[in-house]
């Protein structure tokens, strides 16, 4: 959608983006606080999550959670909240005609929650159910177990369930007081924001009922370590095996490097004709496969994962090894690069067909490191990716020799180690080259 974006810095220390989309029929609101699990003691891990469940509930205006939700959503509006290691984000979307009513309600919830004991107890039970259901997600369980062994800030769902008894409603209140300050607030608002609405929005956030003390907390340092063996989780009920491969580089990616790695990631796994997934499907080895990029304050991560039968797993590992090795050696056809660029450009165009999609194109990075993405320059960045940079960044992702391999299933640890051995040369060769240089 055609739009313009501007950043406003408030006198109370908060910051945010206003995304003007002319004639948009809806508005979206995302209000973010650096308030995730990294800010609590390990035995209080679930405090931020419980707080997120309670804040959009009983408040000084409407002292019952169900009544508040009914009032906010009565004209079809939507609200939700989410917690991560780093942040808590409150969100709402509504029809354009009632944006001010919905935003007023959202701000009341965020600034004047009651934290009632009875609602704490109810949400305590709901969070227990949520954690128990998450524990049934095999990919999630494997990922959390691996990241714990790698040394990243994480706890498994079973650990989180065991720790919940340590938390009281006072812990939730104290965490709210610590984190919900104007200086720790960032927001992204998208819709038809004309000059009058811009003034109204700025006034609302300038006068928000949050303390002007506090600070925007810095992201934590996380430095993963290499795993010397497979992370194996036995589950006799799983017929196929689940696996993840994680590799890390000891620094953040530059924008051109991220563009190049995203491009080759698409080329390898994101379509049914991609180099790894497409080849595997052509041979009848695997139904689907995923891969992706992530970054922390200190490092960059590239991961691959799939569900595959034990009999097909060795052949799939050979394909992964072979196709990654080809990229490292520069065996990439120019026509494949151009075809992937065209696919990426089309996907980019599809990603912003809605107001919420457009806002999402800015919010992730803005909340992470306060960078305002140059949205209209992204097609030029995609087209600017060159083969040499693709090769360099892929080799760099393996050169630091920091990686992990994990399996969940009933195939046995010895078999899992054999699968790990099939891809280990990707790091061993690059580590040797790195040390020589």
**Which helix (H) or strand (E) element contains residue 421?**
helix 413-423
| pLDDT 10s digits, 63-112 | 999 999 999 999 999 999 999 999 999 999 999 999 999 999 999 999 99
DSSP labels for 92-112? Answer: EEEEGGGHHHHHHHHHHHHHS
Residue whose C-alpha is closest to residue 393's, from 252, 266, 290:
252
CA distance 163 to 380: 48
Domain identity same for 199 and 236: no
CA distance 326 to 426: 11
Domain identity same for 197 and 321: no
Q: Do the domain assignments include residue 236?
A: yes
Domain identity same for 258 and 125: no
Q: Do the domain assignments include residue 219?
A: no
Phi and psi (nearest 5°) for 390? -60, -50
Q: What is the pTM of this model?
A: 0.93
Q: Do the domain assignments include residue 158?
A: yes
Asked if residue 355 lies in contact with residue 191, where contact means CB atoms within 8 angstroms, the answer is yes
Domain identity same for 259 and 197: no
Q: What is the CATH number of the domain that holds 94?
A: 3.30.830.10
Domain identity same for 28 and 157: yes
State the total domains in the chain: 2
* pLDDT score, position 429: 63
Q: Do the domain assignments include residue 142?
A: yes
Q: Do the domain assignments include residue 226?
A: no
Domain identity same for 237 and 133: no
Domain identity same for 237 and 190: no
Domain identity same for 255 and 116: no
Helices (H), 180-276: 195-206, 255-269
Domain identity same for 241 and 289: yes
CA distance 86 to 147: 15
Domain identity same for 161 and 88: yes
* pLDDT score, position 135: 84
Any bridge partners for residue 290, and if so which?
305
Q: Do the domain assignments include residue 218?
A: no
Domain identity same for 192 and 253: no
* pLDDT score, position 351: 85
> Which of the residues in the chain have pLDDT under 70?
429-437
Domain identity same for 182 and 253: no
Q: Do the domain assignments include residue 215?
A: no
Q: Do the domain assignments include residue 224?
A: no
Residue-number span of the structural domain to which 145 is assigned: 4-206
* pLDDT score, position 89: 98
Phi and psi (nearest 5°) for 423? -110, -5
């Amino acid at each position: 959608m055609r739009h313009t974006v501007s950043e406003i810095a408030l006198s109370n220390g908060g910051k945010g983006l206003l995304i003007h989309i002319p004639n948009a029929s809806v508005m979206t609101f995302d209000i973010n606080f650096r308030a995730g699990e990294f800010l609590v003691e390990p035995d209080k891990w679930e405090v931020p999550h419980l707080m997120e469940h309670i804040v959009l509930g009983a408040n000084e205006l409407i002292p019952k959670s169900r009544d508040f939700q009914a009032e906010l959503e009565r004209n079809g509006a939507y609200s939700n909240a989410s917690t991560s290691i780093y942040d808590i984000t409150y969100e709402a979307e509504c029809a354009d005609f009632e944006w001010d009513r919905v935003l007023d309600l959202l701000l009341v919830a965020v600034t004047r929650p009651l934290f009632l004991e009875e609602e704490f107890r109810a949400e305590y039970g709901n969070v227990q159910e949520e954690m128990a259901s998450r524990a049934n997600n095999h990919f999630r369980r494997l990922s959390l177990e691996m990241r714990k062994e790698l040394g990243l800030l994480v706890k498994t769902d079973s650990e989180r369930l065991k720790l919940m008894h340590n938390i009281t409603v006072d812990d939730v209140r104290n965490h709210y007081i610590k984190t919900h300050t104007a200086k720790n607030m960032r927001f992204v608002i998208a819709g038809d924001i004309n000059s009058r609405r811009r003034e109204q929005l700025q006034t609302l956030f300038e006068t928000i009922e949050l303390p002007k003390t506090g600070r925007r907390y810095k992201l934590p340092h996380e430095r993963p370590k290499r795993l010397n063996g497979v992370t194996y989780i036995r589950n006799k009920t799983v017929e196929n095996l689940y696996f993840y491969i994680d590799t890390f580089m000891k620094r953040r990616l530059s924008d051109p490097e991220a563009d190049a790695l995203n491009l080759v990631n698409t080329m390898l796994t994101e379509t049914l004709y991609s180099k790894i997934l497409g080849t595997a499907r052509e041979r009848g080895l695997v139904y689907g496969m995923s891969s992706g990029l992530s970054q922390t304050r200190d490092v960059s991560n590239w991961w691959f994962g799939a569900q595959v039968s034990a009999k097909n797993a060795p052949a799939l590992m050979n394909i992964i090894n072979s196709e990654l090795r080809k990229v490292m050696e520069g065996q990439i056809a120019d026509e494949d690069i151009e075809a992937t660029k065209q696919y990426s450009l089309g996907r980019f165009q599809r990603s912003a067909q809605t107001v919420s999609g457009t806002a999402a194109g800015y919010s992730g990075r803005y909340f992470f490191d306060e960078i305002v993405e140059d949205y209209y320059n992204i097609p030029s960045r995609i087209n600017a990716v060159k083969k040499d940079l693709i090769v360099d960044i892929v080799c760099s992702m393996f050169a630091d020799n920091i990686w992990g391999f994990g399996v969940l299933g009933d195939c046995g640890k010895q078999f899992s180690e054999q699968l790990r051995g099939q891809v280990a040369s990707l790091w061993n060769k690059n580590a040797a080259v790195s040390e020589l240089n």
